[in-house]
Amino acid sequence: MRLPVAVPPARHETAASYLARLASLHGLAPGGLWHEVSSPQPGTRRRAIDPGQLAAITGRPAEHMARALPELRPGPDWQAWRHQPQPRCPRCDARHDGGPVTRLLPHHRYVCTRHRYWIGPPDAGQPATPLGPELAGLVQAQRRHLRLLRRYGPAAAYDAMLTGFLICGHLWTDWPGEPTGPWQRWTRRAEILIPPGTESSQFSASRIFAAAYPEAVGLAGLIASPAWRRLAAGDPAQQQQFIAAIGQRLGWPGYQPADTADAIAHWMKYDSWRPPSRPHTTFPQTRRYGSSPARAATTSRQSLQRHERSTLWFQLHRRGGRVLLHHGHIRPVLVRDWSPEMDGIAATIWASRTTLPLEPRDRLNLAAS
């Protein structure tokens, strides 16, 4: 079978999304088209797309298709991609016919710099957010993020970016009440992204990540650097150099870590001398991988309930730190391979900022104190 309308796939599009668009344009059943171009995988219930068969029905060379569809590439580095597919910039997607485009984006893509949209980490019901002139700093931060990626590589950039968000989450939560500091900028951006009184319709955890993104990128530039990591793990004089640089990046002159409860001090003590943390889950480990385009992606009830709790919390307090810390996007640096096992998310978040000993016999007592 050769389809008469050979529309091209979008860049980084999932196979299910592309086949759903092809089926829509030709009036075909998505499930039937999926079975036409896929084959069952031995020992599993999953099916894998057949590049040759897809090329045959579209008339497009398999190697051209592989450039756009990550699932067709030979041996892709799945850890370089988010495990959860998502929409991209609506203006980028508008040129592709046949229905919604779902893409698998690399970890370093938070902003469409061409059309100035925040596409951020995936979130329950998350729409892309247009960025007006007052949020131009987010577009600039994405460009700095890409330079960081080129300089230090994807593994270091991934770990550093999430660690930057983790630190921002703690600082926003533990707001010291000082008149100036990064929390003031986060609050101003949050008021633009989610105006007070509109939380029920405009709140999105992804927009909270947007509010902290420029500072998280600034911190990531230090965290990804081997030279700065050596200073962070060095003697007291070297650590003071690192602390001064952190204060400069945050726009917080005179910053000094608290004695026993400071996320930056925790990272310096426990994490700075270890290798970068990696994603806990990759796309092939999810149900979305190898799924029929007829099976519509839905947001789980648990995710919707978490979204409702976060909305209410933010509506009451207008602080986004707790939203960042409880979101699964930062989980790989909240729970690292060497992190002690804690009893519940509250204890886990507490442990990510303490500099107290974390011996097994102390964990429950410390977390309860």
330-355 tens-digit pLDDT: 999 999 999 988 989 999 999 999 99
- pLDDT (0 to 100) of residue 297: 67
pLDDT at 365: 45
Strands 38-40 and 111-112: unpaired
d(CA 246, CA 250): 6
Q: Are 160 and 278 within one domain?
A: yes
Residue 172 lies in a domain: yes
What is the predicted pLDDT for the residue at 302? 82
Do 141 and 264 fall within a single domain? yes
The region that residue 39 occupies, defined by phi over 0 for left and psi between -120 and 50 for alpha, beta otherwise, is beta
- Is residue 286 domain-resident? yes
| Residue 157, CA distances (Å) to 41, 182, 245, 334 in order | 34, 22, 18, 16
**CB neighbours of 294 closer than 8 A, spacing ≥ 6?**
20, 29, 30, 31, 34
Residue 247: per-residue pLDDT: 95
Print the domain residue range for 80: 15-93
Q: Are residues 69 and 143 in the same domain?
A: no
For residue 1, give every residue at least 6 positions away whose Cβ sits within 8 Å of its Cβ, in sequence order, or none: 36, 57
Domain identity same for 71 and 193: no
In-domain check, residue 236: yes
Q: For 258-286, what is each residue's pLDDT tens digit?
A: 888 999 999 999 999 999 999 999 999 98
> Quick check: is 360 in a domain?
no
pLDDT tier at 82 (50, 70, 90 boundaries)? very high
pLDDT, tens only, 293-322: 877 667 778 888 888 888 998 999 898 999
Structure confidence at residue 262 (pLDDT) = 95
Please tell me the distance from the alpha carbon of residue 314 to that of residue 195, in angstroms, as a whole number: 11
Q: Is 357 a domain residue?
A: no
Total tally of structural domains belonging to the chain? 2
* Residues 277 and 327 reside in one and the same domain: yes
Confidence band (pLDDT; 50, 70, 90) for 44?
confident
Q: Determine the pLDDT at residue 124.
A: 67
Q: What number of H helices and E strands is found in the chain? A: 18, 5
Domain C-terminal end among 28, 63, 93? 93
Per residue in 216-226, pLDDT tens?
999 999 999 99
**Same-domain pairing of 221 and 292:** yes
Q: Specify the amino acid at residue 215.
A: E
